[in-house]
């Protein structure tokens, strides 16, 4: 054991020398971290996470929350079939349960809790009020590092964000973690080089930045880009406004649904051939 200690890696001593001058502010600290990475004292992934953790302490919930208009919710009076359709189309695992007023969140539904509805004992006896869980409400001014600690302590993964006007949006533990380590891919995500992915015979996931020419070549269509270079531009034109997540429109023989969008642009679309039964 003592021999191992004597042969401790020299990088520790080099790191100690590099940090011999105590940083007085965050920019200096970050510069030291980056210098450490350049000298191979810490690896690039570690640097990203350390910088992300420092960054998170400066952010509030309002900075990264999903706005209320973009929330995918379950209605308190919805049947199992309607809710299953929402789960499948959104790809989410947790849903705020709302009353007739979307500003009134009654609880949170976990997709996995729906499994019991498909057992012999559960069929025909579905009531969302029996399986939804209590919702956690937080102010939009809460710091992300504080929220992350609360998520870990409570083992809760979603919180409803409120302000003086009511429900402002929602935030998940994944949203916070992504601020630290970068985007976490899900089943809707595509590779950087992949703009179109097929799911089944008639359903496709399409990046909004897909060039119209590439779309035409893939689907054997003859769309005229006109003033728009991307398929996202043509879809926004079809809507007549910047659509929010979940909005749909019929477009050139497809039913198109917005899977991902923010306040400035649409990002990911689902194309389904009109009349298909998938």
* pLDDT > 90: percent of the chain: 26
**C-alpha to C-alpha distance for 202 and 277, rounded to whole angstroms:** 9
**C-alpha to C-alpha distance for 57 and 143, rounded to whole angstroms:** 7
Q: State the pLDDT at residue 218.
A: 93
Q: C-alpha angle 268/157/53, rounded to 5°?
A: 80
Of the chain, the end-to-end C-alpha distance in Å amounts to: 63
Instruction: Calculate the alpha carbon distances from 66 to 61, 167, 262 in Å.
Output: 10, 11, 9
Structure tokens at 46: 């570690």
Structure tokens at 268: 């990911």
**C-alpha to C-alpha distance for 107 and 42, rounded to whole angstroms:** 43
Q: Whole-prediction pTM value?
A: 0.58
Q: Are 126 and 79 in contact (CB under 8 A)?
A: yes
Sequential DSSP letters for 11-27: HHHHHHHHT-S---SHH
Choosing among 3.30.930.10, 3.30.70.2190, 3.10.580.10, 3.50.50.60, the CATH entry for 62-181 is: 3.10.580.10
Q: State the pLDDT at residue 172.
A: 92
| 3-class DSSP assignment, residue 231 | helix
Any idea which fold 196-273 has?
3.30.465
* Residue scoring higher pLDDT (137 or 82): 137
Q: Are 212 and 225 in contact (CB under 8 A)?
A: yes
Give pLDDT tens digits for 49-92.
787 787 777 788 988 888 888 888 888 888 888 888 888 777 78
- Residue 147 sits at φ, ψ, to 5 deg, of -60, -40
Q: State the pLDDT at residue 116.
A: 73
Give pLDDT tens digits for 195-235.
898 876 788 889 999 999 999 999 999 988 777 889 999 99
- Residue 157 DSSP code: -
């Amino acid at each position: 054991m003592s021999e191992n200690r004597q042969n401790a890696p020299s990088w520790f001593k080099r790191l100690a020398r590099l940090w011999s001058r105590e940083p007085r502010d965050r920019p200096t600290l970050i510069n030291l971290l980056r210098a450490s990475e350049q000298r191979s004292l810490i690896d690039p992934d570690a640097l990203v996470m350390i910088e992300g953790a420092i960054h998170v302490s400066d952010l509030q919930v309002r900075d990264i929350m999903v706005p209320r208009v973009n929330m995918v919710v379950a209605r308190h009076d919805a049947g199992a079939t309607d809710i299953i359709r929402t789960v499948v189309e959104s790809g989410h695992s947790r849903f705020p349960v709302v009353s007739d007023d979307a500003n009134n969140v009654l609880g949170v539904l976990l997709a996995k809790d729906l499994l019991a509805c498909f057992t012999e004992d559960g069929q025909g006896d579905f009531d969302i009020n029996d399986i939804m869980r209590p919702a956690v409400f937080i102010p939009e001014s809460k710091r992300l590092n504080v929220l992350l600690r609360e998520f870990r302590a409570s083992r809760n993964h979603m919180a409803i964000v409120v302000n003086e006007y009511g429900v402002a949006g929602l935030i998940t533990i994944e949203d916070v973690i992504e601020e630290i380590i970068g985007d976490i891919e899900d089943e809707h995500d595509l590779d950087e080089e992949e703009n179109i992915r097929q799911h089944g015979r008639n359903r496709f996931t399409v990046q909004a930045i897909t060039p119209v020419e590439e779309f035409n070549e893939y689907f054997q269509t003859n769309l005229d880009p006109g003033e728009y270079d991307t398929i996202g531009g043509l879809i926004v034109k079809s809507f007549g406004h910047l659509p929010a997540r979940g909005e749909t429109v019929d477009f050139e023989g497809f039913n198109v649904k917005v899977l991902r969008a923010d306040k400035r642009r649409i990002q990911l679309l689902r194309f389904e051939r009109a009349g298909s039964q998938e």
